[in-house]
Amino acid sequence: MREAYYEREQVAQRDLATTNISPSAAWILVGLFLISIAVTPGVDVTKIWRHPAGFGATEIKKSIQKGEGLWGQVLGVNQYLADRGAGIEEQMSTQLWPVSFFQPMQPAFVRLTGLNTRSVIPGRDDWLFYIPDIDHLIGPEFLDSSEAAVTNVILDFRQQLNQRGIELFVMPTPVKAAIQPERLSRRYSDGIAGPLTNRSFNHFLDTLENSGVKVLDIGPHLIQKARSETPGAFLKTDTHWTQETVIQVAQLLAQWMDESGLDLSLQQKFQTEHIWHEGLGDLSVILSGQMGSRWYPAERVELRRVLDTQRQPWQASHAEILLLGDSFTNIYSMPELKFGDAAGLAEQLSYELQRPLDRIAQNNNGAIATRRDLARAMAQQPERFAQTKLVIWQFSARELSFGNWLPIQLPEMRVREANGVDNVPQLGHLFQTAEIVDVRIASTGTIAAPHQVPYPDALLAMEGTIESTDAGTDPVRCVIYVWGKRDNQMLPAARLRSGQRVKLRLIKWSDVEQQLGRFSRAELDDPNFELLELPVFFGELLE
């Protein structure tokens, strides 16, 4: 029997190691394989060649003519080819026909198969969850590798504010999967005693509280809401909380502030109106833009909009309270987030307190974005913070694992001179209105690819030198924000590279900050924050 066993084993090894195929069949299979791998790039190269971003003799000739001398012409062609190569690289990642063909199928694929994509994982009953949120909860302890970069940065930020007579409240915001995991997995069908957290979270809270930092842990309150109400504390197809949850958190903050004994004197009357609004959740939009609505319909919410005594939508103003926040602050406040306006966290807190409120909020990078904007504003608009007594810092708990926790040094407080402090002193009389200028780009940020993050719009930061203006001023080094992505579509500015010379229409960033400052921004790599005191503009690319 043993000999027969070895014989069968030997036969199996022989058959697995040998394939008998006729030469003609082999050539046919090889030919079909070569054709299959050639079709896709062939079709795409043809499309790209015909696209304006493709390589054309006319464009190459123009780049040669722009150069001065042989070496300048060589550099001109090289720059042109590099720019076009970057454009094609972007096209290949977003416009290849397999992508355009299969992307609209993503919502159906996710809903029917229950399989996740790069950014979105489906839960039970058509709920959607953001994968980085889950990675934060189940990933490594964030204090193991970055305790100094998280806890110490917050402590340092508090100390800098205290030196200016400003108190700090910290409010890390739980992610959806932490509060409503039963919508993700049957394992939690019977509910949870408390919010799910990263294993470092309780230690993080203890460290801050033992150091004297006031921390509002809203997780236990949201758990109670998720249990007692339908649909719960978070939107079904969005990363953010419901309107009712925002109101609840605003009430908790107001109660917390009353108990803290802060001496606040400024008051302002506000009123509300209730309206219904429908919006597409950001996670359904990630799946394939507006097509996602066919499989994940718009969500209907009742907004409590906050109005002033003239029935006008609430507006931020210089005040004793400053709210630093991310998209959890902006949801229900920015129409671009699909869920209405005048009903966000700042508005609701201002109404609960019946006090004015200042706000610095940005849709992404809550660990660093608002601290950077605060430092820049303190340097260029010091009078704005003359009355500030309290900073409330709201950021997504996901930032504890993935955020940028570099320390930022706030500028020395200074008093505005009688003649004013110009936001762009180097340019003096210029830029009272929009100005067309030539800019040499030194560096740019990096825009996240479409449908990879919950923010369909993004501004791109560029460091550059204004080389010439109509008034012929000296070169000026500055930071410029331009639109790099709108409605999940990459714009030409996203392909700009260092060394390019472009024509822009510029206006002061301070003139548009209220309208644009809360959008996600692809910031510059500036580890030492040397760019914070440079003049800042918003630019429109003209060529």
Residue 24: predicted pLDDT: 78
> Residue 366 falls within a domain, yes or no?
yes
Residues 237-260: tens digit of each pLDDT: 999 999 999 999 999 999 999 888
> Residue 141 falls within a domain, yes or no?
yes
> Residue 8 falls within a domain, yes or no?
no
Say whether both 288 and 386 belong to one domain: yes
Q: Which amino acid belongs to residue 209?
A: E
Query: How far apart are alpha carbons 473 and 506 in whole angstroms?
Result: 15
| pLDDT > 70 fraction of the chain, expressed in percent and rounded | 74
Say whether both 203 and 338 belong to one domain: yes
Say whether both 125 and 204 belong to one domain: yes
Residue 202: predicted pLDDT: 94
Residues 102-126: tens digit of each pLDDT: 555 566 656 656 566 778 999 998 9
Residue 452: predicted pLDDT: 85
Domain that holds residue 524: 425-541
- What is the four-CA torsion angle of 531, 533, 539, 543, rounded to 10 degrees? -50
Whether pLDDT at 92 is above 60: no
Domain count across the chain: 3
525 three-class SS? coil
Say whether both 142 and 65 belong to one domain: no
Three-state secondary structure of 242-282? CHHHHHHHHHHHHHHHHHHCCCCCCCCCCEEEEEEEEECCH
Query: How far apart are alpha carbons 326 and 519 in whole angstroms?
Result: 10
Say whether both 244 and 318 belong to one domain: yes
Say whether both 182 and 319 belong to one domain: yes
> Residue 17 falls within a domain, yes or no?
no
> Residue 107 falls within a domain, yes or no?
no
Tell me if the pTM is above 0.85.
no
Query: How far apart are alpha carbons 62 and 511 in whole angstroms?
Result: 36
Q: What is the mean pLDDT of residues 209-235?
A: 88
pLDDT averaged over the chain? 82
> Residue 222 falls within a domain, yes or no?
yes
Say whether both 120 and 178 belong to one domain: yes
> Residue 455 falls within a domain, yes or no?
yes
Say whether both 165 and 227 belong to one domain: yes
Q: Is the peptide bond before 172 cis (omega within 30 degrees of 0)?
A: no
What is the helix, strand, coil percentage profile of the chain, to 5? 45, 20, 35
Q: Which amino acid belongs to residue 512?
A: V
Say whether both 482 and 336 belong to one domain: no
- What is the four-CA torsion angle of 125, 127, 132, 134, rounded to 10 degrees? -40
Say whether both 289 and 142 belong to one domain: yes
Say whether both 331 and 462 belong to one domain: no
Residues 36-63: tens digit of each pLDDT: 666 655 655 555 445 444 445 555 555 5
130 three-class SS? strand
Residues 456-509: tens digit of each pLDDT: 999 999 999 998 766 566 788 999 999 999 988 899 999 898 889 999 999 999
> Residue 413 falls within a domain, yes or no?
no
Say whether both 431 and 393 belong to one domain: no
Residue 512: predicted pLDDT: 92
Residues 6+ apart with CB under 8 A from 162: 168
